[in-house]
Amino acid sequence: MEDERTLAQLPDDPDLERYRMVNPLEIGAVLRQLLSRGDFVTVHFGRGQMMITRILQVDVASRSFCFDWAGQEELNRALLASERNICVAAPDGVRVQFVLPRPREARVDGRPAFIVAFPPDLIKLQRREFFRIETPLAHPFVCRFGLAEGARMTLSLHDLSLGGIGLWATQDDAQRLERGLLLHDAVIELGAAGTVQTDLEIRSLRPMTSRTGEVRIHVGCRFLNLTRGAEASVQRLMAQLERERKALTG
């Protein structure tokens, strides 16, 4: 399980829209939960800068909240000048992410802090649904599917989740794919775990750098009609891959 103090940002995935909150009262309730639990919040800003903080006060009436000042003054000043700041937390394995505008300096109990308006929206995502694991490089799993013109395509898997898969495509292959495209009767070959046949919907295409340094297109796909048996197989495989990853990394 990821250390909640160093959580990374969620990917830019259109499928996350159904988890987005826009009601300020609901957003305030989530922020107050983070406050009452004392959960860590990771703030990503600038060019790769990161701050680990906690929420100190939440004022639903004024739609604002305060969070703690960092120990490094240089980091605090950089955040005060940053116009877009991505905040991530994971209370009890529930991923929370929101974007904040430029904060201002304030004081809480006589100590310096940041104050900022509520975010306009907030994503709250159950761990079971967002957790993805990268698939093996040495013996890659593959997905085979047909295209409308009758051609067949085989792409390697990059990651696997209970909601779908991520595929690696070359830029040439990606030219034949588009967001919203349905891939009927796709066959996913998962090594010793067997095969899974399901329809897929392409939800995103974005350039990414592979673990070998090659720039490819990551094709995010959502399962459309995964059977309970197939879902159980995917879940067992994910658990196995996670155990193997932990064994290798200690």
Q: Is 114 exposed, middle or buried (0-12, 13-18, 19+ CB in 10 A)?
A: buried
Q: Domains along the chain?
A: 4-129 (2.30.110.10), 132-249 (2.40.10.220)
Q: Which of 96-100, 115-119, 208-212 has the highest mean pLDDT?
A: 115-119
136-176 pLDDT, tens digit each: 877 889 999 999 878 899 999 998 888 889 999 999 999 99
Closest by Cα among 159, 167, 231 to 202:
167
- The answer to whether the pTM exceeds 0.85 is no
* 3 pLDDT above the threshold of 60: no
108-134 pLDDT, tens digit each: 999 999 999 999 999 887 655 556 788
Long-range contact set of residues 32-41: C-beta below 8 Å, sequence gap at least 24 = 32/58, 32/60, 33/91, 34/89, 34/91, 34/96, 35/65, 37/91, 39/4, 39/89, 39/90, 39/91, 40/4, 40/5, 40/89, 41/67, 41/87, 41/88, 41/89
